[in-house]
Structure 1
């Protein structure tokens, strides 16, 4: 689920890279900036679509749940937490069948999002109230 990036630094500057990330499935790119560090964006997920997240400024904490049933998900599903920062070009892969909650840990944080379907190409968006699952972001 996590593809570690890296960086190289010399007298010319810094290059952040991820030579292991395969972007061939990507059809759409956008950037998320939460309103403030108290706002949690979620729960939102997709049964078919995939997302890849990479922090490009600041830092984010992302909670990920693999959903058993999108129409009536259990409230006791396991939550995995990931902390992203821009130090290296890491990518968190959110596979189909997962939902996320996203919280910026620093003001002005930016999260790059890649998606494998174009906007409106399919109808595959599921949202749940924040209190539906037990999270601590």
Structure 2
């Protein structure tokens, strides 16, 4: 079973400017990309889960808190599931890999934050979206 992890990027600064890179990320599974911009820093987008689909997140502007829960029973998920938290910012091209079987809640920490989302299925290719109330997993 895969676990969520950060794929670390880096940057290079010289007289020409700054180059952000992630030489460790293999994008060969990515079929779709889009951006998320929350309406404000108080709004939390979630909980949305995917039993089959994988996601990769990267902050291209600002900072995000990404909360994750592992779901084993999709019919009646355990409300006491441990919440895992990651922070992504736009200073490096770090990418958070979220394997199948997780639900996410996403909160921007700065106005104007923008999150790049990559998925391994095309829109409508599979029916794999599970939504839960925002306080469902909060202990």
Runs of 4 or more consecutive aligned structure 1 residues displaced over 3 Å after TM superposition: none
Q: Find the aligned partners of 2:49 and 2:9 in 1 and give their Cα distance.
A: 25
Q: State the alpha-carbon separation in 2 of the partners of residues 134 and 37 from structure 1.
A: 18
Spell out, residue by residue over 1:19-72, the C-alpha distance to the aligned partner (whole angstroms, 9 max, x if none). Answer: 000000000000000000000000001000000000000100010111121110
TM-score, reference length from structure 2: 0.95
Q: Are 2:87 and 1:83 aligned?
A: yes
> 1:131 deviation in Å?
1.1
Counterpart mapping for 1:1-137 below 5 A: 1-134=5-138
Q: Unaligned regions of 5+ residues in structure 2, if any?
A: none
Distance in 1 (alpha carbons) for counterparts of 2:22 and 2:74: 32
Provide, for residues 73-96 of structure 1, a one-character-per-residue CA deviation record: whole Å limited to 9, x for no partner. Answer: 001111110010010000001110
Matches of 1:63 and 1:28 in 2, distance apart? Answer: 22
How many residue pairs get aligned? The number is 135
Post-superposition offset of 1:6: 0.3
CA-atom RMSD, angstroms?
Answer: 0.7
